[in-house]
Amino acid sequence: MAPAPAVTRPAHWADARVRVDKLVVGPFDNNVFIVRDLGSGEAVLIDAANEHELLIPLCAATGVRRVLTTHGHWDHIQAVTAARDAGIEVGVAAGDATMLPAYDFVIDDEDVLEVGRLRIRSIHTPGHTAGSTSFLLEGTPLLFTGDTLFPGGPGNTRFEGSSFETIIESIDRRLLTLPAETLVLPGHGLDTTVGTERPHLDEWVARGW
């Protein structure tokens, strides 16, 4: 039997197969998520963002073996070195690989990443950065969007290498096509759903951000 998760707070989301814990870390209140297969005890961390002194022991206690990086902006990768030093493999899309201090594997579009019996599908959603990637936990309504999609619109595209037109295309073609009940778990702030955000796409285009 898999050991119980080493967290005492209620799960952010759970069913009979999976438990998702959300932690908010660092000066920019980054959301990081531990996605755990309850059958095998294996888990992944979505973004090694910050506060490695908190994240690394928790990863060790909950069976985290890999980090899936949504994108390479510095506030999302501050614990990458500590994770790798702890023997946790770090993955990132090729478009953002040079933004990390180091990494172990490249995440391609439409990769299916196995976590015990769970399957996480990568969705390339460039715009915020060239390599921005969202992650869909198959068999659940859960979509981890990093800084691509938030309640109320797309992520910031005022950075070098960002593109508003590209992020809108990513959201329109890759994310808003998912079922309305899909739960969007972004890299900062609160959750939303595809159904909540889908009607507002034209408004975002009109305002230009």
The pLDDT value recorded for residue 207 is 96
Q: 3-state class of 87 per DSSP? A: coil
Strand order from edge to edge, sheet including 112-115: 112-115, 118-124, 133-137, 142-146, 183-186, 192-193
The pLDDT value recorded for residue 39 is 97
Mean pLDDT value of segment 134-161:
97
Instruction: Look up the CATH superfamily of 13-207.
Output: Ribonuclease Z/Hydroxyacylglutathione hydrolase-like (3.60.15.10)
Whether the model pTM is above 0.75: yes
117 pLDDT above the threshold of 60: yes
Domain residue spans of the chain: 13-207
Rounded-to-integer distance, Cα 172 and Cα 170, Å: 6
The pLDDT value recorded for residue 2 is 39
Exposed, middle or buried, 142 (CB in 10 Å: 0-12/13-18/19+)?
Answer: buried
Exposed, middle or buried, 10 (CB in 10 Å: 0-12/13-18/19+)?
Answer: exposed
- pLDDT tens track for 64-113: 999 999 999 999 999 999 999 999 999 999 999 999 999 999 999 999 99
- Looking at residue 102, its amino acid is A
The values of phi and psi at residue 102, to 5°, are -170, 165
